[in-house]
Amino acid sequence: MSSAYLRGLFSKFKDFGEDWIYSPGINNFITNPADPNNTCGITTTTEVQGCGNVSFTDVFRQPGQQLFSVQAGARHAVRSTLIAYELALSQANYTGGFPRAGFFPTTSSNLNNIAFGVDVKDPFVPKFPVLNGVNIYDPGQYALGYANTEKDGIFERDAVGDISLNKQYSLGSHSSSIEVGFKGWDARKTQLFDRENFATNSQPMTDFLSNFKDNNYYFGNFIYGPVTNFGKVLAALQPGGTSPNLIYNLQNDFDISERIWAGYAMNTISLGNLRLQAGVRRIDSGFSSGQQRGSGPWWKLIFGVALGDQPQLHRCVSQRASSVSIRFRYDSPRCLRDGNCPA
């Protein structure tokens, strides 16, 4: 009798779009109008308020994610022999990133010195009302502070396979079995970040405005201010080239590989209520990551004796065989860092 199966999964998702973010912030909370940090002209302090500023960010989302997995296997019962095997492969990757441009108040702008209050009457819709009449949605008060592109790549691949064979036989009048098996696993994980910074020259936000409008922004709870078009930012800055953000890129880059092989053999002989078992197992593993290397074989020898009846259920009482096992394990030294093994 035989059985086989095949199953798989595939998914692909692109989270493309553009986000526009106004970020008000309070630098100094004011509890007394005489506070020397009260540079924004707060005259009363009956509620939570403070002096701060605001910035604007345009995030151009370009991440794409994809994964697939396939698994196949079978079991074959041929007389007194059972053979089972399985093979699986999975792979996932991420590409793209989050290029962005940041706009800040110009040096002479009154956006650098805004009196903010804190309105939490509705805890689900907190607000920072402006108390000194400054228009934080005036694009003429913002200038381009930075811009970058980002093309990242993250990849992982896992492959695993195993096979086992169990043979039932008789040793005289004693039922016995011998089983051997093998399993292998191989994986690789890589990550490569590439963020490139543009050279900016404090171009005004008005050079990059978009005509996009959301008339129902947060159901009318917040003001929808003017937004930018990231394509216009790219068109203006690309002729000047880019420079890599080495600190960000290098600390996020890695390439890791790992491989494990394992095999075992086990024999069981039943002598009435006495069951003798002996086996051996070996595992070999290795990994690499940059300048580091590692490997390590492990041997394990197992001997066991079990005395008693087979587990059974009788009158709602579970009876199980008592067992005693003796195990011996041999570990060989592991080699780390470019194969330099300890003595």
Give the pLDDT confidence of 246-285 residue by residue, as tens digits: 999 999 999 999 999 999 998 988 887 777 888 888 888 8
Average model confidence (pLDDT) across the chain: 86
Stretch 329-337: mean pLDDT: 45
| pLDDT for 30 | 92
As given in the structure block, the two tokens for residue 181 are 């098996």
| pLDDT for 173 | 82
Stretch 169-185: mean pLDDT: 90
Q: Which domain holds residue 122?
A: 2-64+98-162+188-257
Residue 154 maps to a domain: yes
| pLDDT for 255 | 92
The more confidently predicted of residues 196 and 44 is 196
| pLDDT for 159 | 97
Q: Name residues whose C-beta falls within 8 Å of residue 339's C-beta, 6 or more positions apart in sequence.
A: 293, 295
Q: Render pLDDT for 284-318 as a digit per residue (tens, 0 to 9).
A: 888 887 656 666 666 666 655 555 444 433 333 33
| pLDDT for 337 | 38
| pLDDT for 339 | 44
Percent of the chain with pLDDT over 90: 66
| pLDDT for 242 | 93
From CA 58, how far away is CA 208, in angstroms rounded?
11
Stretch 14-25: mean pLDDT: 95
Stretch 22-49: mean pLDDT: 91
Q: Which of 31-40, 83-92, 318-327 has the lowest mean pLDDT?
A: 318-327
Residue 265 maps to a domain: no
How many domains does the chain contain in total?
1
Residue 277 maps to a domain: no
The more confidently predicted of residues 319 and 34 is 34
As given in the structure block, the two tokens for residue 279 are 């086996």
Q: Render pLDDT for 196-210 as a digit per residue (tens, 0 to 9).
A: 999 998 999 999 999
pTM: 0.73
Stretch 109-117: mean pLDDT: 94
Residue 195 maps to a domain: yes
Residue 197 maps to a domain: yes
Band of pLDDT at residue 34, cut at 50, 70 and 90: very high
| pLDDT for 246 | 94
Burial class (CB in 10 A: 0-12, 13-18, 19+), 233: buried
Residue 338 maps to a domain: no
Residue 84 maps to a domain: no
Stretch 70-79: mean pLDDT: 94
| pLDDT for 297 | 63
| pLDDT for 278 | 84
| pLDDT for 157 | 96
Q: Name residues whose C-beta falls within 8 Å of residue 107's C-beta, 6 or more positions apart in sequence.
A: none
| pLDDT for 336 | 40
Stretch 148-170: mean pLDDT: 95
As given in the structure block, the two tokens for residue 163 are 């096979």
Residue 150 maps to a domain: yes
